[in-house]
């Protein structure tokens, strides 16, 4: 169960021949995000378990998740952008139904991230899922 935005990303990745191109694309996605406002970069929005600084700010509008985020690492900003494509616009129940590991495997991310980055990605996914569960 992936959003249309995530399906589009999967299609984009199919056209990118090697992992370096995909890595650059993820970084570009992060660079294209609007910056997270400084007042939202607070301990309550900080994600523990990441090697770099990460903040995720989630809200529900009309029962649908919308979150923004920021990181001090370019690749992590890109991973936030990927997660936004995976989750934004879903209801809390839909967020809970997403098999993030399987969806991200379609991009090949599981095979090319360091252990620290993989742990951080899992922490971000868990934060999104917890936020949705609290809203449900």
d(CA 44, CA 56): 9
Contact between 35 and 77 (Cβ < 8 Å): no
Helix or strand or coil: residue 20?
A: helix
50 is catalytic: yes
Q: Which position among 2, 47, 50, 107 bears the catalytic label?
A: 50
Paired tokens of 15: 């056209």
Residue-wise over 91-122: b if at least 16 C-beta within 10 A, else e? Answer: bbeebeebebeebbeebebeeebeeebeebbe
Residues recognised as catalytic? 50
């Amino acid at each position: 169960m992936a959003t249309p935005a995530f399906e589009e990303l999967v299609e984009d990745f199919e056209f990118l021949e090697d992992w370096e191109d995909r890595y650059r694309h993820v970084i570009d996605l992060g660079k294209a995000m609007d910056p997270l406002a400084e007042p939202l970069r607070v301990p309550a929005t900080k994600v523990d378990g990441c090697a770099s600084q990460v903040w995720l700010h989630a809200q529900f509008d009309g029962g649908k998740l919308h979150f923004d985020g920021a990181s001090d690492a370019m690749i992590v900003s890109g991973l936030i952008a990927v997660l936004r494509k995976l989750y934004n616009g879903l209801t809390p129940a839909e967020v809970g139904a997403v098999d993030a590991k399987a969806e991200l495997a379609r991009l090949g991310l599981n095979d090319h991230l360091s252990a620290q980055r993989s742990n951080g990605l899992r922490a971000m996914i868990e934060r999104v899922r917890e936020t949705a569960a609290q809203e449900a």
